Structure 1
Amino acid sequence: MKVMEKSEQTQSYSWILGIDVSKQSIDTCLIRSLDGQIFENKFNNNASGFRQLKQWCKQQQCECDATTLCCMEHTGLYTRLLVHYLVSREVAIWLESSLQIKRSQGLLRGKSDRIDAQRIARYAHVFQNKANVLEISTLTLEKLKDLQSNRKRLLTALQMLRTSTEELKQFDSSTGKLIDQTNREAVRGLEKSLEKVDDQILKFISEDESLKQKYDLMLSIKGVGKVLAAMLLVYTHGFNRLADGRKLACYSGVAPFVYESGSSIRGRTGVSKFANGDLKKVLHMAAISSAHHNPELKEYYERKVKEGKNKMSVINAVRNKLLHRIVAVVNRGTPYTPELKNS
């Protein structure tokens, strides 16, 4: 048992639990906020290990409940079961960037799982008033992200089967028809799976009141479909991040940037390639649909094209308009209302 200096920050939690997670095990460092005492141990990264962790915490008079702040680095699948277990016990979960923790502690020497757990616990102890505590809706978003990844894989497989068959038909129609008949059952199976995934996505969204409200607000904008609305919920963490039109446009790869320097470099204004490609593709299809079926954006698109603007530049402007409208209705909390024209 060790003792560390008490943090000067206002204490919000009775206990701070720092955990370094690996595939097979979890190294823990428990700090008692009252006097700064440190307790350390190591457990297996499975259900049995989690129960042992709870028992060990109780031995130190820590109930492992809402009075405990647990901080760990976000390591994807390795943290998932542990997070679910701790959330079920109402422990406050803080998933922090490993880079943020490293930068906060200056020059470091030595590294091990045990030392990393100590550093995570100390970081959480000092900066607990800035903790970004995991919300219940985050677990729903986690499921939505998995479903969307599965949806992408199904679409890719479906597209590969259809494209290869159509290309073969153009050069060898008899063989192409044979392959088409052979793959027909597989295609139907993929289409049914795709429908089930879409239904499951809608079910998870409907079960969360906050997400459902934001989802319906986005759908109030003509041109915004179910796929785009669900993707935006996942990538913006329920609009707890990127809740600004410009930032979301930049993340989606549709924000224009100027390329120039001095008097010699005069590049064309364009979008950055550092963006979420999947979101950009779906947003692009939504913009094309809006340019044809949304009266306001259709009028805007046709007017700009008549003025001599490049069509793709206008489509990009439509993508930006959609994103800014989405952010506006979500932040405002009311459905989109078309602009009224003077009669």
Structure 2
Amino acid sequence: MEKTMQPQAPAFILGIDVSKDSLDVCLLDCRDGSQLDYKANNNPSGFRRMKARLKQHGCEAGPDTLCCLEHTGLYTRQLVHYLLAREVRVWMESPLQIKRSIGMVRGKDDKVDAQRICRYALLHQREAKCVNLSGVTLERLKDLQANRSRLQKALQSIKVTIKELLAVDPVSGKTLEQVNRKAIRGLEKSMEQVEEKMQEFIAGDGDLKGKYDLLTGVKGVGKVLAVSLLVYTQGFTRMDEGRKLACYCGVAPFEYRSGTSVWGKAGVSKFANKQLKQVLHMAALNSVRYNQEMKAYFDRKVAEGKSKMSVLNAVRNKLLHQIVAVIERGTPYEIRLDKV
């Protein structure tokens, strides 16, 4: 998870552009403005050499150092763990956020990218949200979540193929069904084991366990959505407002107009996390079926003439706001039919 950066200004700012095999490092000494550019290998021995080089420049790579780097998946993991073990303040920022803050640029160079990341950290250091060690559990949940998604796609692909073949050629369809029976059972068993391991990791982290219980206490929110929200919001240390989370999920409506000549209907943006939006959509459908408050709201709006899809999108928004509310309060959600 993440925490707001400590109030004291860092003595050193470290901007690192991470690739699969190498690190491009830009170190800025905030005391005298001197700068060091260095290239290291993206492995433990490379980290140690980098630390030795930084020490020659006066940087101990400890609590007085703010390190900013982009989210690049697995390639940053070893480096982040190495830096956290030495109490370096690590700030993981969105590549798009850094890119848009720079403005229009031409060309691409790893050394220059590291300098740009370093400059971004210098200018926006007050907004830094630093990773802490409890984020390791969320990393593991994210890995398991991705694995579950791959297993689900493989299982769905096999089942759909068999179903379609049974409809047009029953003999071949039954043959495929027979030869894939063990594979289907194996995939289903693997999915069960992945979900069990997710629950094990959540149970081992008191803070995440409390938030997970609050999430699943909201009618319509199941295990998959609860884990997805914990992962993508970093345990609700990011996007902890209903509107921001709705924007991220692609369910917040925006106006489309300019002057008197351009006037379109309000609609949602395609710039969103599509995977999370899909899981949220299924949760909204379940909520309409089993949550009496949401069902009453859905039926009333449809009776007023609203389209079912627009009302369902409103349900998705309401569901997210309910989720954020229970996390902020720290108390389970209670249905209030008198406020529908």
TM-score range, shorter chain: 0.7 to 0.9
- TM-score for the superposition, normalised by structure 2: 0.84
Return closer, same or farther for 1:202/1:123 CA change in 2, 3 Å cut-off. same
Secondary structure at the counterpart of residue 157 of structure 1: helix
- TM-score for the superposition, normalised by structure 1: 0.84
Q: Percent identity?
A: 59
Structure-2 separation of matches of 1:58 and 1:264: 61
Aligned residue number for residue 20 of structure 1: 17
Q: Which protein has the larger Cα radius of gyration, Structure 1 or Structure 2?
A: 1
Structure-2 separation of matches of 1:17 and 1:260: 42
1:160 lines up with 2:157 in the alignment: yes
Aligned residue number for residue 3 of structure 2: none
Shift of 1:135: 2.9
How many residues are paired up?
333
Find 1:46's aligned residue among 43, 46, 67: 43
Structure-2 separation of matches of 1:149 and 1:274: 21
Q: How does 1:49-68 map to 2 (within 5 A)?
A: 49-68=46-65
- Structure 2: runs of 5+ lacking an equivalent: 1-6
Decide which moves more: 52-61 or 217-226.
52-61
Q: How does 1:282-293 map to 2 (within 5 A)?
A: 282-293=279-290
Aligned residue number for residue 196 of structure 1: 193
Decide which moves more: 182-191 or 53-62.
53-62
Shift of 1:109: 8.7
Structure-1 separation of matches of 2:107 and 2:262: 47
1:131 lines up with 2:128 in the alignment: yes
- Check whether the contact 2:84–2:132 (CA below 8 A) recurs between aligned residues: no
Structure-2 separation of matches of 1:63 and 1:77: 26
Return closer, same or farther for 1:280/1:114 CA change in 2, 3 Å cut-off. closer
Secondary structure at the counterpart of residue 26 of structure 2: strand
Structure-2 separation of matches of 1:249 and 1:36: 41
- Check whether the contact 1:218–1:229 (CA below 8 A) recurs between aligned residues: yes
1:72 lines up with 2:69 in the alignment: yes
Find 1:35's aligned residue among 16, 32, 35: 32
Return closer, same or farther for 1:183/1:71 CA change in 2, 3 Å cut-off. same
Aligned residue number for residue 206 of structure 1: 203
- Check whether the contact 2:21–2:41 (CA below 8 A) recurs between aligned residues: yes
Letter paired with 1:53 = M
Return closer, same or farther for 1:117/1:272 CA change in 2, 3 Å cut-off. closer
Decide which moves more: 262-271 or 222-231.
262-271
1:90 lines up with 2:92 in the alignment: no
Aligned residue number for residue 276 of structure 1: 273
Can you list the C-alpha shifts for 1:209-245, whole angstroms capped at 9, x where unaligned? 3322222111111111110111112222322332222
Return closer, same or farther for 1:57/1:237 CA change in 2, 3 Å cut-off. same
Between 1 and 2, higher relative CO (CA 8 Å, sep ≥ 6) is seen in 2
Shift of 1:183: 0.4
Q: How does 1:170-249 map to 2 (within 5 A)?
A: 170-249=167-246
Find 2:333's aligned residue among 331, 336, 339: 336
Structure-2 separation of matches of 1:12 and 1:269: 43
Decide which moves more: 73-82 or 282-291.
73-82
Structure-2 separation of matches of 1:273 and 1:107: 23
Structure-2 separation of matches of 1:270 and 1:27: 41
Can you list the C-alpha shifts for 1:222-278, whole angstroms capped at 9, x where unaligned? 111110111112222322332222332233233334556777877555434333222
Structure-2 separation of matches of 1:93 and 1:245: 26
Aligned residue number for residue 298 of structure 2: 301
Can you list the C-alpha shifts for 1:8-46, whole angstroms capped at 9, x where unaligned? xx9622333232323322232333333334344322111
Structure-1 separation of matches of 2:182 and 2:259: 61
The alignment's C-alpha RMSD in Å is 3.0
Return closer, same or farther for 1:316/1:207 CA change in 2, 3 Å cut-off. same
